[in-house]
Amino acid sequence: MRAGVFDSGIGGVSVLKSLLDARLFEEIVYYGDTARVPYGTKDKETIIQYSLEALEFFKSQNIDILILACNTVSAYALDILKQRVSFPIIGVIEAGVLALQNTAMDKNAQILVIATQATTQSQIYPNALHKLGYKHITALATSLFVPFVEEGIYDGEFLQECLKHYFSKLQTTPQFIILGCTHYPFIAKAISQYFNHQCTLIHSGNAIVEQLKKECALTPTFANTTLKFFSSQNNQTLEKEAYRLLKRQD
């Protein structure tokens, strides 16, 4: 079984990590559109156009399934991409919602969804959560976290200032935070610390594994997964950084 994993940049590696731990695939082809990251500040048409171009790349890779390890792409292009190819395509948003549902039993819980500007504007998370009966949802665009992670900045004063910039506006401390951008798990420690470790952080990586096991009947089979990295610029930089992040213990 050969899977494709797509993100605008390095963020999808947080999902890749969960996929590797689950040993579901013999080979994974990762593609990061590093020449054009971030996607989260772009408009809908541009995000769809870039996603279609990435799909062209994956068409030549002989994959059995494509995982959109990007919330922004999942929010705007999942349905469109699905219509273009015969292999299955799975996004991260459903998995993120599922992960929240499995963790937050109380429908009155205070939930904060942080994501890129585009994902936030799509309202995709609040709509799904409201449907499930959750009542207190705050959606906050935190697009600047993406360049931090792309730069390899996962802690420190500069990031602290950025956290303060966004989170000081909040009226209450959330109980659950959905990391609605695949870049964010790499700064999860700093986010958790900002809230004095009082919030439960949710990310879609592990939930997507559960979804794959259920929907595609995949089982942990492969002790070793062959990894191939591609990007729209500086391939070696992406590959080196990806291996560094995969080794990191969070």
Applying CB under 6 A, the residues found at the interface with ligand DGL are: 7-9, 11, 37-40, 70-72, 116, 119, 146, 181-183
Q: Give the shortest CB-30-to-ligand DGL separation in angstroms.
A: 13
Spot the catalytic one: 162, 181, 199, 216: 181
- Give rounded-to-5 percent helix, strand, coil for the chain: 45, 20, 35
Told to judge if 70 belongs to the known catalytic residues of this protein, a careful annotator would answer yes
SS3 label, residue 92: coil
The verdict on whether residue 71 carries a ligand-binding annotation is yes
The angle subtended at Cα 115 by Cα 113 and Cα 116, nearest 5°, is 155
Q: Which is nearer to ligand DGL, 17 or 183 (CB)?
A: 183
What lies within 8 Å, CB to CB, of 185 at 6+ separation is 14, 179, 203, 205, 250
The verdict on whether residue 250 carries a ligand-binding annotation is no
Q: Which tokens in the block code for residue 108?
A: 């009155």
Residue at shortest CB range from ligand DGL:
40
The verdict on whether residue 183 carries a ligand-binding annotation is yes
SS3 label, residue 154: coil
Q: Which is nearer to ligand DGL, 9 or 174 (CB)?
A: 9
The verdict on whether residue 196 carries a ligand-binding annotation is no
Q: Which tokens in the block code for residue 62?
A: 């002989």
**Residues making up the binding site for substrate:** 7-8, 39-40, 71-72, 182-183
**Residues making up the binding site:** 7-8, 39-40, 71-72, 182-183
